């Protein structure tokens, strides 16, 4: 199957899905999640911008970009103001270009010197580019071999066998997921739902009771029903349709809990896993909300400023967002926390594979292995 075909299929799927989301919004309780989405006017979901682009059909662009970053450094200086106009929040470029421009003025650099450094830079970048290409290929083939070595083949017993060898497992696991461009493998809404439910299956099989799934835009939080169905389907593949383990999906931000079947009741007592869905909203914004509430309490003289301690904030945030995870898995090429709730990563162990882009079992199990070998010493 060619890339374009895959893209076409995915586009179709996604278009179908966005419609579904909008429909859901109008008739169900999810209306309060996306406040401004009505049925009359269509606002694309926040992830839409990220689904554009993608690695399919972009070879020309990539080559263009690489050659630009090597050769067109002069342009970079002149072009930066343009970029700023395009996206105002990207003020990093503004400051860096102005600061270095002042540097070149201060030093009274002549044109010759400037050109010399530019040429050296081009050579350095060129060599680094070649090195980087080799490294990328090496990492990719390494990941492929690892994928072959660790293959769960949808059976909890095999995962169990892998985990039993470890001398400790995390009691709380977290994972950062990303919505990928629809053209890519495992992209679009379908991709992230699939990744999330696979992860839930592995986590249950490994015997970990708590899993936090984080995605920046909160796509999972907005598609809880689809997620619940996807998890249910995957679990019935792993455990057989007759004995699907009970699970609970918790969305701390909306204070909502969903169970695997629509009827609440007897299953409530015993769930095999609790999945929390987090988004960027649960991070800094929640701390800001807490500050706001505390400021109000203080102005009403119900709370003394000196009573606000790390412990107090900690208990509040634990209630609002949840506990700190022991291990955080990141399924991206290089570690970027993407706005994961900052309060909750104090002593969390991170694991990711260099240049990896897929949610695979090998990353999961290798993360657990690394965790088993680590030793935490607070301050000592």
Partner 1 sequence: MSEESKIPGHYFVLSLLKNIFSRTLRASNNVPRHVGFIMDGNRRWARKNDIEVKDGHEAGFHSMSRILELCYEAGVDTATVFAFSIENFKRSKYEVDSLMDLAQRRIKQITENGELTDKYGIRVRVIGDISLLDKDVLLDIQHATERTKNNTRATLNICFPYTGREEVVHSMKDVITENYSPSEINEDLIDSHLYTGGLPPLDLLIRTSGVSRLSDFMIWQGSKKGVRIELLDCLWPEFGPLRMGWILLKFAFRKSYSNSKEVIDEDYEEEEEEEESVDKKKYI
| Interface positions, 236-265, toward partner 1 (CB under 8 A) | none
CB-side neighbour CA atoms (13 Å) of 277: 25
3-state secondary structure of 308: coil
Structure-token match 């992209």, residue found:
187
Q: Are 173 and 329 in contact (CB under 8 A)?
A: yes
Helix axes 361-373, 111-149, angle to 10 degrees: 100
338 binds partner 1, rule: CB under 8 A: yes
> Nearest approach, Cβ of 197 to partner 1 (angstroms)?
25
- Residues from 162 through 201 that contact partner 1 (CB under 8 A): none
> Nearest approach, Cβ of 262 to partner 1 (angstroms)?
36
- Our CB check for partner 1 shows the closer of 18 and 348 to be 348
Instruction: Show contacts of 89-93: CB within 8 Å, 24+ apart.
Output: none
299 binds partner 1, rule: CB under 8 A: yes
> Nearest approach, Cβ of 267 to partner 1 (angstroms)?
35
Q: Which residues pair with 275 in a beta bridge?
A: 211, 249
- Our CB check for partner 1 shows the closer of 24 and 276 to be 276
Q: Are 217 and 279 in contact (CB under 8 A)?
A: yes
318 binds partner 1, rule: CB under 8 A: no
d(CA 258, CA 281): 20
334 binds partner 1, rule: CB under 8 A: yes
C-alpha torsion angle, residues 186, 190, 192, 195 (rounded to 10): -70
> Nearest approach, Cβ of 264 to partner 1 (angstroms)?
35
Q: Which of 118, 209, 268, 318 binds partner 1 (CB under 8 A)?
A: 118
3-state secondary structure of 250: strand
Binding segment toward partner 1, per CB under 8 A, in 65-73, 140-148, 182-190, 263-271: 65-73
> Nearest approach, Cβ of 27 to partner 1 (angstroms)?
33
Q: Which of 48, 337, 358, 372 binds partner 1 (CB under 8 A)?
A: 337
d(CA 330, CA 323): 18
315 binds partner 1, rule: CB under 8 A: no
Binding segment toward partner 1, per CB under 8 A, in 67-75, 140-148, 217-225, 249-257: 67-75
> Nearest approach, Cβ of 372 to partner 1 (angstroms)?
13
Main-chain dihedrals φ then ψ at residue 258, nearest 5 degrees: -120, 145
């Amino acid at each position: 199957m060619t890339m374009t075909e895959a893209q076409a299929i995915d586009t179709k799927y996604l278009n179908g899905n966005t419609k579904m989301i909008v429909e859901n919004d109008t008739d169900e309780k999810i209306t309060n999640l996306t406040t401004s989405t009505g049925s009359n006017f269509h606002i694309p979901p926040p992830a839409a911008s990220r689904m554009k682009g993608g690695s399919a059909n972009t070879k020309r662009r990539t080559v263009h970009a690489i050659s630009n970053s090597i050769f067109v450094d002069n342009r970079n200086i002149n072009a930066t103001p343009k970029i700023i106009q395009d996206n105002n929040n990207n003020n990093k470029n503004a400051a860096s270009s102005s600061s270095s421009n002042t540097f070149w003025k201060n030093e009274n650099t002549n044109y010759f010197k400037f050109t010399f450094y530019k040429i050296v830079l081009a050579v350095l970048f060129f060599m680094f580019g070649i090195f980087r290409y080799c490294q990328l290929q090496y990492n990719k083939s390494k990941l492929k071999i690892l994928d072959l070595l660790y293959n769960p083949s949808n059976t909890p017993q095999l995962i169990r066998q892998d985990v039993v060898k470890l001398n400790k497992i995390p009691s709380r696991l977290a994972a950062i997921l990303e919505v990928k461009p629809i053209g890519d493998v495992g992209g679009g809404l379908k991709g992230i739902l699939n990744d999330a439910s696979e992860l839930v299956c592995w986590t249950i099989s490994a015997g970990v009771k708590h899993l936090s799934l984080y995605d920046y835009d909160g796509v999972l939080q907005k598609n809880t029903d689809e997620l619940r169905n996807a998890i249910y389907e995957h679990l019935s593949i792993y455990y057989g349709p007759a004995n699907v383990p009970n699970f609970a999906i918790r969305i701390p931000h909306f204070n909502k809990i969903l169970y695997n079947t629509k009827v609440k009741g007897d299953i409530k007592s015993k769930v095999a896993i609790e999945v929390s869905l987090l988004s960027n909203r649960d991070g800094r914004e929640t701390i800001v909300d807490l500050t706001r509430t505390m400021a109000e309490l203080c102005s009403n003289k119900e709370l003394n400023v000196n009573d606000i301690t790390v412990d107090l904030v900690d208990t509040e945030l634990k209630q609002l967002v949840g506990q700190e995870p022991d291990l955080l898995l990141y399924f991206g090429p290089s570690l970027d926390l993407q706005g994961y709730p900052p309060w909750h990563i104090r002593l969390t162990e991170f694991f990711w594979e260099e240049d990896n882009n897929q949610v695979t079992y090998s990353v999961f199990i290798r993360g657990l292995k690394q965790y088993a070998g680590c030793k935490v010493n607070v301050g000592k």
